[in-house]
Chains A and B, each alone.
Chain A
Amino acid sequence: MSLWQKPEHDRPAPSESPSSSAPTVPQRDHKSSSPATIGQSVQIEGELTGQEDLIIDGKVDGKIVLEGHHLVVGPNGRIHAEVHAKSVQVSGEVSGNIVADDKVEISPSGSVLGDITAPRVALADGSSFKGSIDMGSKPRQMSSSSSSVNRDVPIAAGAIKH
């Protein structure tokens, strides 16, 4: 037996069907209560779309579209992007315009540099905001590229850096 050859008992047993040998990928339950999270060490460049609630504690540079869903920018979140969601809660930093169908909240630790378009807006004491507030018009649609995204994919990003 070659030195580089594993003994027979160490080898995995041959599978009965090719499909069972594929690594199992945990499927996210879209109805689950815990939202998807982008961790502190994750940096995304590109367009990020989804069909579930999302918490961002990392960095996103590009565009975020979560139609009908809730976006939370955590205290460590750093967003440099156009944002469109049902509601947006900012505890970190957002640089870019925010369009929400329901509401936008900026927490005391939150900072927004950009225009807010939403029927309801709440700014906490101590929060930082520079831009314009538009609550009178219906939230405008994002550009046409957002309509072409694959809606079956929870998150589609251009590039992910760890």
Chain B
Amino acid sequence: MMRWLQSGPAVARGAPATAAANEQSCRGMALALRRILKQGARPEVLDLGQFSRSAAIYLASRGARVCVEDFAPPPPTPRLKPGAKSIAKPVISIPQPDGKFDLVLAWEHVDFVPPDRLGDFAAELSRVMLPGGWLILFAEDRPGTKGSRPDRPACYRLTADDRIVRSPTTGPERPRWAHPNRAIERALSPLTVQSIQLQRNRIREFLVHKREKPS
């Protein structure tokens, strides 16, 4: 059955009954929205979620100008062949100008970025963020596990500023890593991780801030 992702009150209140059980709080998102929406100006939001268009519509209905981009995480860097002097790494690129966005929603992309590319991914996110801007990341929490496993990114839907519904998607599977907190924080530097919230479905929500430039 076709499901329309409607703007306005339908998104804020109209969660299907089955989704109510999957609804959970997202305090980091609520805090970021409170900060950017209170400024009075119309905040710029970048939504990198291929499956999270309804979140984009929700945020647009809250007064933000939402830019939607499909982002494909890079494959792992190939090993250096014997005799070769260099390796061509796939470029991680978000086709948006520097310092444009008050809020960047990267959803679960970080889990699909290989460990050796986390720094490049974080640098690209930081590049498009406005000084003083915010970043939201979601990452699976699987302590003690090593390596990747095939999985699909989830679909996220905002039902309120502090309520979110995560649901599975279909499509091709990709390798998924469970990066430890320390690895993500290190990759995001010099961005500041303000909070990490562990949700009841073992998903961590990272709220990240980019410092204002000293005047």
Contact = CB atoms under 8 A, between A and B. Distances in A.
Interface of A: 105, 108, 119-127, 129-137
B5 A122 contact: yes
B2 A124 contact: yes
Nearest to B95: A130
A134 B4 contact: no
A92 B182 CA distance: 46
B53 to A, nearest CB: 5
A124 to B, nearest CB: 5
A-B complex: 4 closest residue pairs judged by Cβ atoms: A132-B67, A133-B60, A135-B60, A136-B63
B2 to A, nearest CB: 5
A130 B61 contact: no
Contacts of A126: 2
A123 B60 contact: no
B126 interface: no
B8 interface: yes
Given A123-B4, A133-B56, A135-B7, 14 more contacts: A105-B4, A121-B7, A122-B6, A123-B53, A125-B3, A125-B5, A127-B53, A130-B68, A130-B70, A132-B66, A133-B60, A135-B60, A136-B60, A137-B42
A24 to B, nearest CB: 44
B65 A134 contact: yes
Contacts of B5: 122-125
Nearest to A132: B67
B159 interface: no
Contacts of A120: 6-8
- B interface, how many residues as a size bin? 20 to 34
A122 B61 CA distance: 11
Contacts of B60: 121, 133-136
A136 B4 contact: no
A134 B42 CA distance: 10
Nearest to B5: A123
Nearest to B69: A130
Max chain A C-beta neighbours (<10 A), residue from B4, B61, B69 = B4
A80 B60 CA distance: 25
Contacts of A108: 2
A120 B57 CA distance: 9
Nearest to A120: B7
B92 to A, nearest CB: 18
A122 B2 contact: no
A25 to B, nearest CB: 41
